[in-house]
């Protein structure tokens, strides 16, 4: 294992790992004045605790955010909808969310914007010889269930982190593709740690997981069934850094600085993946090693066609009644 540690620019790096307690939301940005600590402007960033967070973390360690005059405070929320609610309500400035929960929120009229790419798949990933090798999600079955393939999941109990979010959608797409009616499934909402425990005890038949919990499930004896996300998204950005419209307006300079810092961070992470993965492992508290983790990919930009493709598939699967209007959702990078 190659553990690389760069000198931390302490003034620009604060990682406050803990679950945000989401109180009543308002439309006020987290810090309307963009108040600076010294010469640095603070941005509050919510993640959901993934290994791919490593790009953001090594970017802080390398001083890319400090170079842009930013001081980033990170915290972990329970799931993407919680992060989006925090971003819209102004409890945080920026939140991580995959495109699916973002589109669900936009469809409900929540005023959110896409600021920058967080993670995703390399171009042509779905057409690769082994797409599962690049998919950081996985559908795993309890050893006690006897389930070995998607066709066995008719009427099964499947754990997911949130309803109508990414893993329910991509698992439903996989089920539908194999002729299994997704409406026959009993969906159970569990956080990833609880889902791995439920697989181990047999409390659920299967669970949709993301790295590093996929590796933890395999180590606990669960059966790999499918890698459902890469087939659905195909390629490009999946995880997105998002912000409320109020924050984008009130902190336009800081948001532009964040975009530049993320671009450098993502490029650095792709060039130094072991360092980024280790940072993600450390942040999640996982006991896994770098070699146990599928290599994430950190895109350089969000391509509008990537959001359009997901938008159309959500309609086709019945998760959205009609396509979301995506005009002006992307905040152009300078």
- CA nearest to 39, candidates 9, 12, 8: 12
Q: Are 303 and 122 in contact (CB under 8 A)?
A: no
Confidence band of 38 (pLDDT split at 50, 70, 90): low
Percent of the chain surpassing pLDDT 90: 71
Predicted pLDDT at 35: 46
Predicted pLDDT at 15: 32
Half-sphere exposure of 134 (CA within 13 A, CB side): 23
Burial class of 14 by CB neighbour count within 10 A (0 to 12, 13 to 18, 19+): middle
pTM: 0.79
Q: In this model, does residue 29 exceed pLDDT 60? A: no
**Per-residue model confidence as pLDDT tens digits over 40-71:** 999 999 998 888 999 999 999 999 999 999 99
Predicted pLDDT at 162: 83
Q: In this model, does residue 305 exceed pLDDT 60? A: yes
Helix (H) or strand (E) holding 89: helix 80-89
Q: In this model, does residue 7 exceed pLDDT 60? A: no
E strands, the chain, are: 13-19, 36-37, 40-47, 70-76, 94-98, 112-121, 137-141, 157-160, 186-189, 206-210, 223-226, 236-244
Predicted pLDDT at 324: 97
Which segment, 76-80, 123-127, 238-242, is predicted with the most confidence on average? 238-242
**Per-residue model confidence as pLDDT tens digits over 61-103:** 999 999 999 999 999 998 888 999 999 999 999 999 999 999 9
- As a whole number, the mean pLDDT across the chain is 87
Q: In this model, does residue 172 exceed pLDDT 70? A: yes
């Amino acid at each position: 294992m190659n553990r690389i540690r760069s000198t931390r620019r302490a003034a620009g790096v604060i990682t406050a790992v803990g679950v945000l307690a989401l109180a009543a939301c308002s439309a006020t940005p987290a810090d309307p004045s963009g108040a600076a600590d010294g010469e640095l402007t603070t941005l509050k960033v919510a993640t959901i605790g993934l290994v791919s967070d490593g790009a953001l973390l090594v970017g802080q360690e390398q001083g890319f955010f400090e170079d842009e005059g930013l001081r980033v405070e990170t915290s972990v929320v329970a799931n993407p909808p919680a992060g989006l609610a925090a971003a819209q309500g102004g409890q945080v400035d920026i939140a991580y969310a995959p495109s699916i929960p973002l589109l669900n929120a936009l469809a409900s009229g929540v005023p959110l914007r896409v600021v920058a790419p967080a993670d995703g798949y390399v171009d042509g990933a779905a057409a690769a010889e082994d797409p599962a090798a690049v998919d950081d999600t996985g559908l795993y079955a309890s050893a006690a269930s006897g389930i070995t393939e998607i066709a066995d999941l008719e009427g099964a109990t499947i754990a997911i982190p949130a309803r109508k979010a990414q893993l329910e959608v991509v698992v439903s797409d996989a089920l539908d593709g194999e002729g299994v009616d997704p409406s026959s499934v009993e969906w159970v909402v569990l956080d990833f740690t609880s889902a791995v425990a439920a697989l181990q005890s047999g409390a659920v038949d299967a669970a949709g997981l993301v790295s590093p919990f996929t590796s933890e499930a395999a180590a606990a004896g669960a059966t790999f069934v499918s890698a459902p996300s890469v087939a659905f998204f195909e390629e490009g950005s999946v995880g997105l850094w998002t912000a409320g419209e109020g924050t984008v307006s009130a902190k336009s300079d800081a948001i532009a600085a964040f975009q530049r810092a993320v671009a450098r961070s993502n490029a650095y992470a792709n060039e130094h993946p072991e360092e980024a993965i280790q940072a993600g492992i450390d942040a999640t508290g996982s006991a896994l090693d770098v070699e146990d983790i599928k290599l994430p990919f950190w895109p350089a930009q969000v391509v509008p066609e990537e959001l359009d493709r997901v938008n159309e598939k959500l309609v086709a699967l019945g998760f959205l009644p009609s396509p979301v209007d995506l005009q002006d959702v992307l905040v152009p990078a300078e």
